């Protein structure tokens, strides 16, 4: 894939991935065929900051989990009122990493050969 496209993609989306994953993602994107670029340019990555805000304000009712696509966990979190608020508090610390992992797995699915 074109070096400038990769740099532009990473510049625009670096906040959506963990810092330690960026070299791996860059190396992976360099090996991806140019025919995958239309798919790559249309994916909707989730912002970890938005997930954190949803966790702060809507964590007990599962908004954060619904946002990143964990629908089953979102439903369970809603039914248990955030695991009696314990799960909601734990998610305040874990939701950013969960969002970054979601973005990484989505990127790998889209760029699969």
pLDDT in tens, the chain (113 residues): 688 899 999 999 999 999 999 999 999 999 988 888 888 888 999 999 999 999 999 999 999 999 999 999 999 999 999 989 999 999 999 999 999 999 999 999 998 86
Count the domains in the chain.
1
Tokens of residue 40, six digits: 């790559």
Q: Find how far residue 52's CA is from the centre of its chain.
A: 12
Find the distance separating the first CA and the last CA of the chain, reported in whole Å: 13
Query: What pTM was computed for the model?
Result: 0.90
- The pLDDT of residue 1 is 65
Tokens of residue 17, six digits: 């991935």
Q: Is 12 exposed, middle or buried (0-12, 13-18, 19+ CB in 10 A)?
A: exposed
- The pLDDT of residue 19 is 95
- The pLDDT of residue 113 is 62
Domain that holds residue 25: 3-110
């Amino acid at each position: 894939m074109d070096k400038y496209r990769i740099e532009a993609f990473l510049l625009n989306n670096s906040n959506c991935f963990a810092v330690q994953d960026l070299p791996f993602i860059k190396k992976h994107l360099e090996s991806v065929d140019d025919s995958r670029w239309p798919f790559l340019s249309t994916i909707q990555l989730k912002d970890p900051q938005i997930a954190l805000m949803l966790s702060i304000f809507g964590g007990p009712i599962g908004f954060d989990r619904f946002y990143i696509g964990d629908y089953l966990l979102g439903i369970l979190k809603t039914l248990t009122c955030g695991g009696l608020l314990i799960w909601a508090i734990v998610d305040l610390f874990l939701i950013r990493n969960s969002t970054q992992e979601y973005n990484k797995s989505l990127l790998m699915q889209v760029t699969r050969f």
